[in-house]
């Protein structure tokens, strides 16, 4: 970060190159300063755009689910008026009433967590817990309601350094992508395992959907490139996922076959093997 004479903050990329003499020894160092403020602002706008698109998808599912819940609450309230002489029945309906209210509250909490901007904060966390919470939310809100979800999570590799909000966004984007690729009744697989050299926790999210054509695999990380039909996607989901992976010093690999399905493999360094120069909270 640098500041102009007027005190305006600017993001600067500094690169260095040695200048050698005739004998090959380094005599000077050349420094090149490049103002990347506009690039950084464009990237931040990209993140906001994808988050808004994701929020729209989930909000639509939540709206449908809330209508069902509110309809159930109204029905329970009407029944309560007619069973004042049956205490057991009253208690049973009251339990259902409370359960539905808890779901309504959870939907509200999920929407708030998506809409609140937060500064990145890296800390040790159980990636399996993040996976379970994010996946359960997508099931509850209806996004994954009509799919078979299989989880196979390895406990020994689950502690990584990461930003919880970013990892939630990564998982959410990949699972929504998988849902869009499948017909109702399709199978979503979410797995974690320890890499062969035991340095990474490997998260794999797979589906048995339509797959990605081979010629498209080279372009899927390009912003605004999408294989989905018009109105179904922004073309920002996978570029954002790749960016989040890079922020975590991780790796990403995609395997896909048309009409068979897609597997996305994310490698995240386990907590004992990774350090961050800024934003780390332990």
Question: Is 91 within a domain?
Answer: yes
Measure the N-to-C terminal CA separation of the chain; round to a whole number of Å: 25
- State the residue range of the domain holding 95: 44-115
Q: Are residues 153 and 253 in the same domain?
A: yes
Helices 127-140, 87-115: inter-axial angle, 10-degree rounding: 120
Q: Are residues 136 and 269 in the same domain?
A: yes
Q: Are residues 144 and 217 in the same domain?
A: yes
Q: Are residues 155 and 250 in the same domain?
A: yes
Q: Are residues 146 and 77 in the same domain?
A: no
Q: What is the mean pLDDT of the chain?
A: 77
Question: Is 278 within a domain?
Answer: no
Q: Which residues pair with 19 in a beta bridge?
A: 28
Query: What per-residue confidence (pLDDT) applies to 33?
Result: 80
- Name the range with the highest mean pLDDT among 84-93, 134-143, 177-186, 260-269: 260-269
State the Cα angle at 207 between 204 and 209, rounded to 5°: 150
pLDDT tens-place string over residues 60-115: 656 666 666 676 676 666 666 666 666 777 777 676 666 666 566 655 655 555 55
Q: Are residues 130 and 111 in the same domain?
A: no
Closest CA to 153 of 202, 187, 207: 202
CATH code of the domain covering residue 258: 3.30.565.10
Domain boundary among 115, 138, 168: 115
Question: Is 282 within a domain?
Answer: no
Q: Are residues 176 and 238 in the same domain?
A: yes
Q: For residue 22, report the phi and psi dihedrals to the nearest 5 degrees.
A: -65, -30
pLDDT tens-place string over residues 208-229: 998 888 887 777 777 655 655 5
Query: What per-residue confidence (pLDDT) applies to 234?
Result: 47
Residue 215 in 3-state DSSP? helix
Domain boundary among 115, 130, 165: 115
Question: Is 280 within a domain?
Answer: no
Strands (E), the chain: 2-3, 9-10, 12-20, 26-35, 122-126, 148-152, 159-163, 187-194, 200-207, 251-257, 261-269
Please tell me the total count of domains within the chain. Answer: 3
Question: Is it the case that residue 119 has pLDDT exceeding 50?
Answer: yes
Q: Are residues 24 and 141 in the same domain?
A: no
Q: Are residues 148 and 267 in the same domain?
A: yes
Question: Is 12 within a domain?
Answer: yes
Q: Are residues 252 and 126 in the same domain?
A: yes
Q: Are residues 74 and 162 in the same domain?
A: no
Question: Is 279 within a domain?
Answer: no
**Percent of the chain's residues with pLDDT above 90:** 26
Q: Are residues 129 and 94 in the same domain?
A: no
Tokens of 110: 């999920």
Question: Is 234 within a domain?
Answer: yes
Given a contact cutoff of 8 angstroms between Cβ atoms, the answer to whether 248 and 161 are in contact is yes
Length of the chain: 282
- pTM value surpassing 0.85: no
Domain boundary among 100, 115, 130: 115
């Amino acid at each position: 970060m640098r500041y102009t004479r007027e005190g305006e903050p600017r993001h600067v990329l500094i690169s260095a190159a040695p200048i050698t003499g005739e004998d090959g020894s380094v005599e000077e160092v050349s420094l090149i300063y490049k103002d990347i403020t506009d690039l950084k602002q464009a990237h931040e706008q990209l993140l906001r755009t994808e988050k808004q698109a994701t929020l729209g998808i989930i909000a639509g599912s939540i709206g449908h689910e809330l209508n069902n819940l509110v309809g159930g609450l109204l029905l329970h309230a009407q029944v309560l008026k007619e069973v004042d002489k049956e205490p057991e029945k009253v208690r049973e309906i009251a339990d259902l009433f409370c359960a539905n209210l808890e779901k309504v509250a959870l939907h509200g909490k999920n929407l708030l967590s998506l809409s609140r901007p937060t500064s990145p904060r890296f800390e040790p966390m159980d990636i399996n817990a993040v996976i379970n919470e994010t996946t359960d939310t997508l099931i509850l809100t209806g996004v994954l309601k009509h799919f078979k979800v299989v989880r196979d999570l390895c406990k020994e590799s689950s502690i990584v350094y990461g930003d919880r909000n970013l990892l939630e966004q990564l998982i959410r984007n990949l699972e929504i992508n998988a849902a869009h690729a499948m017909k109702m009744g399709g199978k979503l697989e979410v797995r974690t395992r320890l890499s062969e050299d035991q340095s990474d926790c490997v998260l794999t999210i797979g589906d048995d959907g339509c797959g990605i054509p081979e010629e498209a695999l080279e372009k899927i990380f390009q912003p605004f490139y999408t294989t989905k039909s018009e109105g179904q996607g922004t073309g920002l989901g996978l570029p954002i996922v790749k960016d989040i992976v890079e922020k975590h010093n991780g790796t990403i690999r995609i395997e896909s076959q048309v009409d068979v399905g897609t597997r996305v493999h994310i490698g995240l360094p386990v907590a004992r093997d990774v350090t961050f120069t800024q934003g780390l909270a332990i």
